[in-house]
Amino acid sequence: MVFGQQLPQYTQWSFHQMVMNPAHAGIKNCLEIHSIFRTQWVGFEGAPKSGVLTFSSPIKTKRKQYLSARHGMGFRFETDRIGQFTTNRVNLAYAGHFNFDKTNRLSLGLYGGIIQMGYNPNGSVTTVPDPVVSQEGSFLAPDASFGAWWNGENYYFGLMFQQLITSEWPSIGSSSKFRLHPTVNMGYRMKVSEKITFLPSFMLKVPPRGPLAMDLNLMLDFSNRFVTGLGYRNTDALMIFAGFKLSPRFTIHYSFDFTLSDIQQVSSNTHEFSLIFNTCKKENTSTSSCPLF
């Protein structure tokens, strides 16, 4: 019997909030497309490989008054492979955004869609023949997540409940099922100078059968063009970040995880790449970074 988290993890989560939180659908007044590819524990047999693509857009409606509620929509496709398991997830998102003043905003969102999960027994070895382990299986199940987001001018808080529908795994295992995964995160923006911004962020994941996982990231942004920093994940790794704005529309990020757990005996490297496209208009000439909200 094995217990562990069922969802892929991403080192660059602070730049791609909508991967986890549907409340980010249409949060900006422009179209955004985010993509991530992650290969974890390079060289380890059956190691996780994950990828995700998100799309976000505001819903254009006539606002009755200044700072009245806005709405957004979005899409997420995610694929994750670990060992003999492959999971594909397709979700549509809706979010409502409610401003209390020019800088303080509450956003609430929902993901709804389907999960396709498959198990291929090739490569599975047991000391005693086990008909459950040797049986190939695949199924579809409903999927839903809830997200909440609050941000001011220089800080944010996020709350997510992923896999709200705890469907069982038919034809895979005898007592396995999807389980609820709560997550909270937060971040702050501190202006060091006209060209340098300090961006600390924190995330706490609560898998139902595994240890608490905490990410702490400390990043510096230079002239809203280049970002670099360090991170630490208590259950796994030391992380290094780098990102560069190729143009007003495109931004690229790379992160490297150095494994600290016992897995480092066979693999100490994890790589993650991401690309962001947006149609956001530059509203001012400030070089102080605001990549998160």
Over residues 130-150, the pLDDT tens digits come to 777 777 888 999 999 999 999
Residue position matching structure tokens 């990549």: 291
Is the pLDDT reported for residue 289 higher than 50? no
Is the pLDDT reported for residue 287 higher than 50? no
Distance CA(182)–CA(190), nearest Å, equals 28
CA distances from 254 to 16, 174, 176, 272 (A): 13, 39, 35, 6
* Residue 129 three-state SS: coil
From the list 267, 288, 277, 290, the residue with the least C-alpha distance to 30 is 277
287 in a structural domain: no
31 in a structural domain: yes
Token pair in block for residue 263 = 């897995």
290 in a structural domain: no
pLDDT of residue 68: 80
Is the pLDDT reported for residue 101 higher than 70? yes
Is the pLDDT reported for residue 291 higher than 90? no
Token pair in block for residue 31 = 């179209």
pLDDT of residue 69: 85
Is the pLDDT reported for residue 286 higher than 70? no
Task: Give pLDDT tens digits for 224-263.
Answer: 899 999 999 997 899 999 999 999 899 999 999 999 988 8
Model confidence at 283, pLDDT cuts 50, 70, 90, reads: low
Strand partners for 87:
80, 117
Specify the number of domains making up the chain: 1
CATH code of the domain covering residue 73: 2.40.160.60
211 in a structural domain: yes
Lowest mean pLDDT among 118-122, 206-210, 279-283: 279-283
pLDDT of residue 221: 94
120 in a structural domain: yes
109 in a structural domain: yes
125 in a structural domain: yes
Instruction: Give the structural domain span for 228.
Output: 13-278
pLDDT of residue 134: 74
185 in a structural domain: yes
Is the pLDDT reported for residue 12 higher than 70? yes
Is the pLDDT reported for residue 288 higher than 50? no
Is the pLDDT reported for residue 222 higher than 80? yes
Distance CA(17)–CA(31), nearest Å, equals 15
Is the pLDDT reported for residue 169 higher than 80? yes
pLDDT of residue 75: 97
Assign 3-class secondary structure to 70-123: EEEEEEEEEEEEECCEEEEEEEEEEEEEEECCCCCEEEEEEEEEEEEEEECCCC
